[in-house]
Amino acid sequence: MLKPDMLISQNEIKSTIKRLKDEEGYNLLLDITAIDYLKYPDVTPSRFGLIYILRDKTFKKQIVIKAYVADNNLNVDTISDLYEAANWAERETFDQYGINFIGHPNMKRVLNHHQFVGYPLRKDYNITDGQICTETEDLMDEMVPLLKSKGYSQDDLEELMLLNVGPSHPASHGTIRNFVAMEGETITACVTEIGYLHRGFEKACETHNYSQVIPYTDRLNYCSAILNNIGYAKAVEDMLKIDITPRAKMIRIVIGELSRITDHLVCNAANMVDMGGLTNYWYLFAPRDKAYDILSKLTGARLTNSYTRIGGLEFDLYDGFEKDLNEVLRDVEKAIEDALSLVERNRIFQDRTQDVGIINAEFALNAGITGPNLRATGVAFDLRKDKPYYGYENFDFDVVVGSHGDVYDRFMCRFEEMKQSIRIIEQAMKEMPDGPINVGAPGIFLPAKKDVYGNIEGLMNQFKLTFEGIKVPKGEYYGFTEGGNGELGFHITSDGTGTPYKVKCRPPSFYSLAAYAKIVENSMLADAVITMASMNFIAGEFDR
């Protein structure tokens, strides 16, 4: 049975995690979630279990900590004073499960609206209950204490200008509401509200079999949908203890890195638009469109591809794929060169982006920020290097890091990461092995149609996989990959059936956005706009 690394009591949570952070260097809190065991087939000490996932300062080791919460005492100590990342993570756990974190500075809902009643990820919640939000929350319950903590009196508050940026605003790049207090053009305080695109991804996973979850992962970070497919499928495959074929691994690397390129193209192009650089936008979007042509020919869809299968892939590479791919890669290289030629030594661009939206490395780690936003601060953490999978350790590529963690560094890191992805793709295509793309195991992959129609075993296999799904062994497992925005994790709980008991997605942009309000304090409003664009918040990912 798949188990957590450490099982502790409810009262030991804070002291244990503090010790792990201070003495053993677990300075990156990846996620917090809960599990409701109400309908779990095995007997558990109590109904709810709390899960904490941490990674150490070497990025080589991770630990999953579990604590059962007493049924008559759903109160645990907050660790938001230890990790900035715990702020929104604990709010989400309270929002979805009703577990209260004592000492949390702002214990309120984060994904569901303020009029919502009940806790939707509890197993006894009636999912058919329609709960419509009828009025907007003014967020003054958060803004006033925040301003007073900064030394503003009640009279001072009357002099500040309060402004809503979003949720429907071109600068928000998605459905994000930032409620800001301003002195002139300077932001003195910011409160971020999300949940406008929350559609219950994790609840939907509980009513679909493991394979049927794949299309839902497309809708997380839709700018690099295949990376989500890969991350989820790999977690399930790890639980099943299956090793996909060498050709499937290599194709996943190629298509995943192509998706990473399209993700970074969108981010940098949108960032340039916010700075008035429309020419750069067209330079960068043209090869993105051609990359989508390849994905459409390969998978049948341009944006939400649903290409990965548990145990392999839906289709093998088509004839002429390598030629089309090489053309796109050359177009990407040309687009990067053209875009950089306009801004790299442009004094106006440098003044606009350097020393703007600075994130220091210590804060970034404490806030759970990963991916390009963390690497831009100078921290060389990349799961493809630090915890390699699919043979990434055999590829010659560099981890790109910045030095100041500002808009300029995030912008340039993504450009250089695209070049590194091209290097990886070219090496992968050169070493592409022959062979099958699927494991062919009867209990995992659908049989060929000739077997379905030709013999009873094939027909029965098709029937059972379609209606019952892949039977995953009982237990809990955290799987991770390097997504477009950082560490994309899936904590999956299985009850031994073909349907997940629980799937918790660790969306990288959720933690970046949670830190955004502090990052833009004392910034100009115009600088906050390009800071947001440079951090690449994807609403489908953080709202789920």
Give the residue extent of every domain in the chain: 6-102, 225-230+239-454
What tokens were used for 134? 């009828």
Walk along the chain (544 residues) and give the pLDDT tens digit of each residue: 467 788 899 999 999 999 999 999 999 999 999 999 999 998 889 999 999 999 999 999 999 999 999 988 999 999 999 999 999 999 999 999 999 999 999 999 999 989 889 899 999 998 888 888 888 888 888 888 888 888 888 877 888 889 898 788 777 777 889 999 998 889 999 999 998 899 889 999 999 999 999 999 998 988 889 999 999 999 999 999 999 999 999 999 999 999 999 999 989 988 888 888 788 888 888 899 999 999 999 998 888 888 999 999 988 999 999 999 999 999 999 999 998 888 888 888 888 889 888 999 999 999 999 999 999 999 999 999 999 999 999 999 999 999 999 999 999 999 999 999 999 999 999 999 999 999 888 888 888 888 888 888 888 888 888 888 889 999 999 999 999 999 999 999 999 999 999 999 999 999 999 999 999 999 999 899 999 989 998 888 888 8
Domains 6-102 and 225-230+239-454 share a fold: no
Q: For domain 6-102, is the CATH number 3.30.70.1400?
A: no
> How far apart (Å, rounded) are the C-alpha atoms in residues 139 and 155?
19
Residue appearing with tokens 């560490």: 487
Place of tokens 């192009």: 269
**pLDDT per position as a tens digit, 355-399:** 888 999 999 999 999 999 999 999 999 999 999 999 999 999 999
The Cα 422–Cα 277 span in angstroms is: 25
The pairing of beta strand 486-494 with beta strand 475-483? antiparallel
Residues 6 or more apart whose CB falls under 8 angstroms from that of 11 comprise none
Determine if residue 531 is left, alpha or beta; phi over 0 gives left, psi from -120 to 50 gives alpha, anything else beta. alpha
CB-based contact 407:357 (threshold 8 Å): yes
If you write DSSP's letter for every residue of 79-133 in order, what string do you get?
-TTT-TTHHHHHHHHHHHH--EEET-TT-S-SSS-TT--S-TTSTT--TT-----
3-class DSSP state of 503: strand
Of 132, 8, 143, 13, nearest in space to 78 by CA? 13
Q: Indicate the CATH number of 225-230+239-454 among 3.40.50.300, 3.40.640.10, 1.10.760.10, 1.10.645.10.
A: 1.10.645.10
246 contacts 433 by C-beta, under 8 angstroms: yes
CA 285/CA 287 separation, integer angstroms:
6
